[in-house]
Every structure is written in structure tokens, then in C-alpha cells.
Amino acid sequence: MCSYSVTMSRIMNNRPYYKINSVEKTMKILELLAEKGELSVAEAAAHLDLNRSTCHRFLVTLRELGYVVQNTLSHYRLSFRIFELGNKVANRLQVRRTAYPYLQELSNLFNETINLGYWDNNEIIHLDKIDSTEILRIDPGIGSRVPAYCTGLGKAILAFLPEEDLNNFLKSVPLKDMTPNTITKKEKLVQELKRIRKQGFATDRDELFIGLRCVASPVFDYKNYPSYSVSVAGPSSRMTKDKITVMKKEVKRVGRELSKSLGQMQP
């Protein structure tokens, strides 16, 4: 039978050819646990009309991935990983709406690329950005992940992390040389972070990409945690010492004002 006939047959039988059954079963298990709370393998299999051994394999896989927890009675329930995923999505949407006017303000002042970063699993996610209108620009896109230790966005957050979180980062993240300017010695990075904490802003001088520089400031959430950061980024040819001197004052100011808008508790 030709592929066209197979596709038409599936459509006629209301069976989408693109549907992956294993994904559908996984989602049904997650939805069932969300509704019922805690179930044994047999109970979950009965609810979903699945073979018990098949259901067990799904649950064990989800447990290994961290999405379900197995208790001492061999019952399964959802882990807080699901809660964290939902919160991350909600927080990102809200912070983007709140942050955009501040990003626009920096864009109007400097006409360079303005970035909003988010601290996630020892890396930085670019949540939002406003591109420069200049033809020459070098910067990651929205949704991209970059290392924290060699970016302005990342170092601005690292410098203000609680000591325990920073120590965990230093123990678990290898400092790879992205360019000849990347800091790859932990002792040197710690000294850099102390300087950043004292002055209130971070710089990236060709540390992630040759030809890219930026100035960044931390942004604190309502828990006083440096979950976010903002930066002005541009080609090294335009990001001169004098320009960075002007930028750092505005980036620090925007970081403070955005933190207040996100509910940062004042000391």
C-alpha cells in the first residue's frame, strides 16, 4: 500500500499518523497521578487499562527521570519536578512582561542588544531580548542556553548567589575555555565574583565569543534571590571602555528598579 493510502486510511479511522503512543501513555500516567495522588502499579494499570508490566516500566522510567517518587509501600506519586516546571513557565511569562519596559529603556539609551537572563540548572537561559538596529551584532537568541561563568549575565548572578549555591556550582561545573579570555581557574573566578559583588555589575570581555562584550546586573526576585539578570551586549569595536563606564550606571539602576518591580524585599 502506498504512503498516501496509509495516511488516508489512518485519517479515516481517526488515528493521527503523527501520534506517538508511548508519549500519550506517559502523559496519561502523569495526569492520573495528578488526579489520584498516589497509586500502586496495579492500581495505575487498572485505571489506564494497561498491562501491569508495561505500566511498571513507564513508572520506573519516570522515577529515574525525577518526575515521580516511589515510597516504601511501592506506591508512586508525582514529584515536585512537575510543580517546578509549571512555575518556571509561569514565572518566565510574568517576568518578561514586567521586564520589557526596562529592556526597552536600555535599548533606547544605547541601541545595543539588551538581554534578560534566567538562572536555570547552573546555566543561563535567554528569556527575552531587544535587538540592536545596528547591522553588526553577535548574541545568542531567545531560549538559548549559555554557560554562567563566562558571560556577563551569568557572572552577575553567580556573584550574588548564596554561599552554598555558589560552592555547589564551583564543585559541579567544569570551567572550559570558550575563548583565550575565559576564566578557567576557580580561584580566579571567585576573585572576579567578589569584585562583581562589590561593584554591583559584571562584564564579559570576549569571554564567550571573541568580538562580543557586555555589561550586566543581577535582578532579584521576591525571595531576594538573584534569579535573573539584564545586560547590554555589543561588538567589542563599539563596546569601548568609555561607553561601558556609562552603561554600567544605567544597567545597575535598571537592575535595582526591576528587582523592586518583581517584589524584592528591601533590607
- Full DSSP string of 234-259: EETTT--HHHHHHHHHHHHHHHHHHH
- Full DSSP string of 171-233: HH-----SSTT----HHHHHHHHHHHHHHT-EEEESSSSTTEEEEEEEE--TTS---EEEEEE
- The whole-number pLDDT of residue 231 equals 96
* Homologous superfamily of the 89-261 domain (CATH): GAF domain (3.30.450.40)
Sign of CA dihedral 227, 123, 205, 143: negative
Report how far apart, in Å, the C-alpha atoms of 41 and of each of 27, 30, 47 are: 16, 13, 10
Question: What is the domain partition of the chain in residue ranges?
Answer: 3-78, 89-261
**Fold (CATH) for 3-78:** Arc Repressor Mutant, subunit A (1.10.10)
Specify the DSSP class assigned to residue 72. T
Instruction: Kindly tell me the burial class for residue 15, based on how many C-beta atoms sit within 10 Å of its own C-beta (0-12, 13-18, 19 or more).
Output: exposed
C-alpha to C-alpha distance for 52 and 233, rounded to whole angstroms: 55
Instruction: Kindly tell me the burial class for residue 241, based on how many C-beta atoms sit within 10 Å of its own C-beta (0-12, 13-18, 19 or more).
Output: exposed
- The label of the residue with cell 544605547 reads 110
- pLDDT averaged per 10 residues in sequence order, the chain, 267 residues: 44 59 90 90 92 92 92 87 76 85 96 94 91 77 88 97 96 95 96 96 94 95 94 92 94 96 77
- CA dihedral of residues 243, 220, 139, 114 (deg, nearest 10): -50
- Residues with Cβ < 8 Å from 13, sequence gap 6 or more? none
- The whole-number pLDDT of residue 253 equals 97
Report how far apart, in Å, the C-alpha atoms of 130 and of each of 116, 213, 223, 236 are: 9, 16, 27, 18
| Residue 126 three-state SS | strand
| Run of H or E residues at 116 | strand 113-120
- The whole-number pLDDT of residue 206 equals 92
